[in-house]
């Protein structure tokens, strides 16, 4: 027995072919969380053909993001706490607000953290 979602994919592909849309299939998603398919259109104007198909519930363009700046390796050299990086704005203590807690006297003695 074919999955209803695979049947929807087949129906979509058939409708694309019938309308003369030139396309390529990317990844098919068939999980409990997501049912869909990625498609690359050869002609951007064919997006209108997708928008009117009943089988299409939503269209999302591909977004690209630049990788965030990475930090170099940090080595802890003090017993009582890490030495900050040469550029203090790079310190994870400052980024997470731990420096403010340290300034108030909280140095983690007697504190337990569970993740």
d(CA 41, CA 22): 6
Q: Is 58 a member of any domain?
A: no
Q: Is 60 a member of any domain?
A: no
Q: Do 45 and 75 belong to one domain? A: no
Instruction: Please give the structure tokens belonging to residue 5.
Output: 């979602």
The answer to whether residues 82 and 76 touch, using CB atoms and an 8 Å cutoff, is: yes
pTM above 0.75, yes or no: no
Q: Do 43 and 79 belong to one domain? A: no
Q: Is 59 a member of any domain?
A: no
Q: What is the span of the domain harbouring residue 77?
A: 70-107
Q: Do 9 and 47 belong to one domain? A: yes
pLDDT (tens digit per residue) in 39-86:
899 998 898 888 888 888 888 888 888 888 776 665 555 555 555 445
pLDDT of residue 99: 76
When divided into structural domains, the chain yields a total of 2
Within 10 angstroms of residue 64's Cβ, the number of other Cβ atoms is 4
């Amino acid at each position: 027995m074919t999955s209803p979602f695979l049947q929807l994919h087949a129906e979509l592909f058939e409708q694309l072919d019938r309308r003369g849309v030139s396309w390529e299939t990317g990844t098919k998603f068939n999980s409990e969380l997501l049912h869909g398919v990625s498609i690359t259109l050869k002609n951007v104007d064919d997006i209108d053909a997708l928008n009117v198909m009943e089988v299409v519930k939503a269209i999302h363009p591909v977004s690209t993001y630049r990788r965030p700046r990475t930090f170099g390796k940090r080595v802890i050299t003090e017993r009582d706490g890490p030495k900050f990086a040469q550029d203090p704005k790079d310190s994870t203590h400052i980024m997470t607000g731990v420096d403010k807690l340290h300034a108030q006297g909280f140095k983690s003695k007697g504190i337990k953290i569970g993740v």
